Structure 1
Amino acid sequence: MKKRLLLLSVSAGAGHMRAAEAIRVSAGDADVEVTHLDAMDFVTTAFRKLYTDFYIKLVNKAPGLWGYLYNASNEAQPDGTMERVRRQLERMNARALLREIKAFHPDAIICTHFLPAEMLSRLIRKDELHCPVWVQVTDFDLHRMWVHEHMRGYFAANDEVAFRMRAQGIAADSIHIAGIPIMPAFAQPLDRVACAREFGLDPQRRTFLLMGGGAGVGSMDAIAKRLLALEGNFQLIVLTGKNTALLAGLKTLAEAQPGRLFPQGFTNQVERLMACADLVITKPGGLTTSECLAMGLPMIVNAPIPGQEERNADFLLEQGVALKAFDDVTLEYRIRHLLQHPAKLDDMADKARKLGRAHAARDVLNIVLKDLSLPQTTPDESVTTS
């Protein structure tokens, strides 16, 4: 029988889910059965609303409060009263998840969120779970809640995260610097000219891609209007996701800006749009920024929420692959500057290409397969061990 690999994520934000899906898709026809479960499908309704809906509302409506909670929980003592109460509530509300895990009989588990990792650590300690459990950190930062005993190994985005893991007491030989898993599509060589023709774009013109909500920088239609008022030979792609009203408004605006504005609704071809772009304007989530780096795309990160997004933004700025805009005026200034200094944009792109880890999902999978003594999907020379 094939070995069974279980991927556990949490739908609090899309990044954890996308990382797990990237690993699942990378398995291809490997000699292993891979299943991905969202832990929130196996908890009580009240707990799901608290853990996912409340989180999303908090980061959108009260980012300062979220930043406080992020830092406070990072500094909290694991044996403190509040931490013990939190873990007890999690266990009470996730019994169905634990039953599902035991029924699946996995040979190995990869957690792309800290919640299931924390629960499984307790099961291993109680001798109720006997398969190896791996943890994939999905940001360029390490929060204390990712760190648990009895894990087989940890996957870090970069050297600094690995260093922080060692500082938290994780054994060096169990830390693997593999990057953040992204879909294999972002590792494919894509022809800019061919992709541009698919979307009616001019492949010779500077192209900016605007993604995400833009909280704190104004609405996406307002940003588009502001940027299109600038002088310069560039075109603008705006991804509106499932916001049909925004898409309709931008299409009307595009009619008045022929050949300059290209609004796009929900798409599964983000990598093909990125292949047309010279710069991405986005929120600095771990997955989105990793996709940009894999495509060699510099970024303007807009209004990062306190906590993990701020840490992601700090890393990108330090590496010279991104600029930060905290409001729409700053964003306009950044775009003006890059249009006037194209060499700066080219230098950022070169650094992004060198920093990207397009095969992170494959490399993570290969380490786990090797631990199970299974054939690897492809050579993993690019992955290093701390």
Structure 2
Amino acid sequence: MQQQRVLMISVSAGSGHVRAAEALLEVTPQFHDVHAQHIDVMHHVSRSFKGVYSDFYKHLIQHAPALWAYLYKKTDDAQQTDISTLLRRSIERFCTKDLIRKINEFQPDHIVCTHFLPAELLSREIKQGRMTCPVWVQVTDFDLHNLWVQPNMSGFFAANHEVAFKMRERGIAPEMVHVTGIPVSQVFLQAKQIPNAKQLNRAELGLQVDVPTILILNGGARIGTVSEIAERLLRCNPQLQVISVAGNNPQRLQECQKLATQYPGRLVAIGFSKTIEKLMAASDMVVTKPGGLTSSECLIMGLPMILVDPIPGQEERNGDFLMEQGAALKVHDIAGLDYKVRQLLADPNRLETMRNNMLEMGKPSAANDVLTRVLEKTHAAS
């Protein structure tokens, strides 16, 4: 059998799309005669395009979320033939010629897009006869936006049956729609399966092994910074210990480290973590934004979520889905956060129910299932 070349294409507008592509790349050694590669669109476009597409997006969600919410709905309602849509596509094609060259150099037999931008660009390449290999789309949210629905694709992978239903409603042939979940790194499943994982990871962090633990991944404008959330929870809940993650923000990390000296043995302050799965395994609940990948990771870990400051549009819809399924609670201010944490600590049965709901929804084999489907026809033909 001839070696199959599989290309994963993501966009680093937010980290979730990249993590989904990396999760797919991670499982390729499980398949025989497959050579895979992952490329990020933003590494192969002009600086001006990256500034507009990625940096401007990040600026909008941080400083003008209401405007982003409007643009999200506007583009969701837009038709393929709208003048604004055609103009946007012309600009994208002009600024991404190097990306097309990079794809052609790899000579893929299959392409999986974990962002709608490369799917949109490659749809035109297929239409013009300049590309013949199958292109697949992995939706990385728990709801469907119109930009994911591109013509000339070989198939679409959905996070759940509702997304699949909406795909069919928007004209995608039923045989092209597959419910696989969102690809997540296998380290999350492995971390959960270690015997006594919670106690072992707490001990490794220097925390007490039998004390309720909450992981803080995000703050927000209305909730407060990570350190402010940690301070409120520690001060008002003496029976609680906290893991705070400041990410790549040195100021926030310094604030958390200073706070840790006031609560010795009860607060672990971490900057950027490459082993977030261990922090999740050590925790009983997490304060976070409902990004598609973070949510999928929490589902696999069975880690109940308290949602703060979701990005209007995709994260709000993700949050709605998770709350409907009994996997998450949402808070609007720090007092509400404190109240809901107290409720969960006082009601272990409710916390366990949320955990079980999450485990039922989790799709730990999503990455494997996606690649199995992509390679299915090739293997059948051999």
Q: TM-score with structure 2 length normalisation? A: 0.95
Aligned to 1:105: 107
Aligned to 2:25: 24
Q: Does 1:15 align with 2:21?
A: no
Task: Please list, as runs of the form range in 1=range in 2, the aligned pairs for 1:116-127 lying within 5 A after superposition.
Answer: 116-127=118-129
CA contact (8 A) 1:298 1:322 kept: yes
**Distance in 2 between residues matched to 1:194 and 1:229, nearest whole Å:** 26
Aligned to 2:268: 262
Deviates more, 1:48-57 or 1:238-247: 238-247
Quote the offset at 1:29 in angstroms: 5.1
CA contact (8 A) 1:214 1:282 kept: no
Quote the offset at 1:249 in angstroms: 2.1
**Distance in 2 between residues matched to 1:205 and 1:374, nearest whole Å:** 52
Quote the offset at 1:213 in angstroms: 4.2
SS in structure 1 at match of 2:182? coil
**Distance in 1 between residues matched to 2:238 and 2:347, nearest whole Å:** 12
Whose helix proportion is higher, 1 or 2?
2
Aligned to 2:4: 3
2:159 corresponds to which of 157, 173, 196 = 157
CA RMSD of aligned residues (A): 1.4
Task: Please list, as runs of the form range in 1=range in 2, the aligned pairs for 1:232-251 lying within 5 A after superposition.
Answer: 232-251=238-257
Quote the offset at 1:232 in angstroms: 4.2
2:56 corresponds to which of 49, 54, 57 = 54
**Distance in 1 between residues matched to 2:237 and 2:215, nearest whole Å:** 17
Aligned to 1:178: 180
**Distance in 2 between residues matched to 1:277 and 1:207, nearest whole Å:** 5
- Structure 1, unaligned runs of 5 or more: 376-386
**Distance in 2 between residues matched to 1:372 and 1:203, nearest whole Å:** 49
> Aligned AA for 1:318?
E
CA contact (8 A) 2:219 2:229 kept: no
Q: TM-score with structure 1 length normalisation? A: 0.94
CA contact (8 A) 2:46 2:95 kept: yes
**Distance in 2 between residues matched to 1:130 and 1:231, nearest whole Å:** 60
SS in structure 2 at match of 1:372? helix
CA contact (8 A) 2:111 2:134 kept: yes
Aligned to 2:371: 365
- Structure 2, unaligned runs of 5 or more: none
Deviates more, 1:306-315 or 1:182-191: 182-191
Q: Does 1:299 align with 2:301?
A: no
Quote the offset at 1:203 in angstroms: 2.3
Quote the offset at 1:103 in angstroms: 1.9
CA contact (8 A) 1:180 1:361 kept: yes
SS in structure 1 at match of 2:147? helix
> Aligned AA for 1:164?
K
Aligned to 1:283: 289
TM-superposition CA deviations, 1:78-111 (whole Å, max 9, x none) = 1011111011001011111111112211000000
**Distance in 1 between residues matched to 2:349 and 2:235, nearest whole Å:** 23
Percent pairwise identity: 48
Aligned to 1:63: 65
Q: Does 1:330 align with 2:336?
A: yes
Quote the offset at 1:341 in angstroms: 2.0
> Aligned AA for 2:12?
S
**Distance in 1 between residues matched to 2:171 and 2:292, nearest whole Å:** 24
Quote the offset at 1:175 in angstroms: 0.9
**Distance in 1 between residues matched to 2:221 and 2:80, nearest whole Å:** 33
**Distance in 2 between residues matched to 1:193 and 1:331, nearest whole Å:** 25
Q: Does 1:223 align with 2:218?
A: no
Quote the offset at 1:278 in angstroms: 0.7
TM-superposition CA deviations, 1:200-254 (whole Å, max 9, x none) = 1222111100003434311111111111111341211111112222222212211
> Aligned AA for 2:4?
K
Summarize the Cα distance change of 1:95–1:289 in structure 2 as closer, same or farther, 3 Å threshold: same
TM-superposition CA deviations, 1:241-285 (whole Å, max 9, x none) = 122222222122112112211111212111111111110110010
TM-superposition CA deviations, 1:324-346 (whole Å, max 9, x none) = 01221211121122122222111
Q: Does 1:82 align with 2:88?
A: no
CA contact (8 A) 2:218 2:289 kept: yes
**Distance in 1 between residues matched to 2:221 and 2:177, nearest whole Å:** 35
Deviates more, 1:248-257 or 1:365-374: 365-374
Higher relative contact order (CA 8 A, sep 6+): 1
Aligned length: 375
